[in-house]
Amino acid sequence: MLLYLMQHGASFSKDIDPEEPLSPLGRESVERSCRAMAALSVRPELILASPKLRSRQTAALVAKALNYPETAIVVTESVKAMASPGLILEDLAKNPPASVLIAGHLPHVAKLAAKVCTSGGAGDFVVENSGLTLVQVTNFAPLTGKLLWHAPPQVLHLVGA
Tally Cβ neighbours within 10 Å of residue 146. Answer: 12
89, 140 contact by CB (below 8 A)? yes
CA 22 to chain centre: 15
Question: How high is the pLDDT of residue 123?
Answer: 67
Question: How high is the pLDDT of residue 124?
Answer: 72
Of 126, 148, 4, the C-alpha closest to 65 is: 4
- Please tell me the total count of domains within the chain: 1
CATH of the domain at 99: 3.40.50.1240
Sign of the Cα pseudo-torsion (98, 129, 91, 147, in order)? positive
Question: How high is the pLDDT of residue 121?
Answer: 65
Which regions of the chain are under pLDDT 70? Answer: 120-123
Using DSSP's 3-state secondary structure scheme, residue 72 falls into helix
Question: How high is the pLDDT of residue 126?
Answer: 86
Domain assignment of residue 62, given as a range: 2-159
Residue 123 CA to residue 108 CA, distance in Å, equals: 14
pLDDT in tens, 79-91: 999 999 999 999 9
Question: How high is the pLDDT of residue 125?
Answer: 81
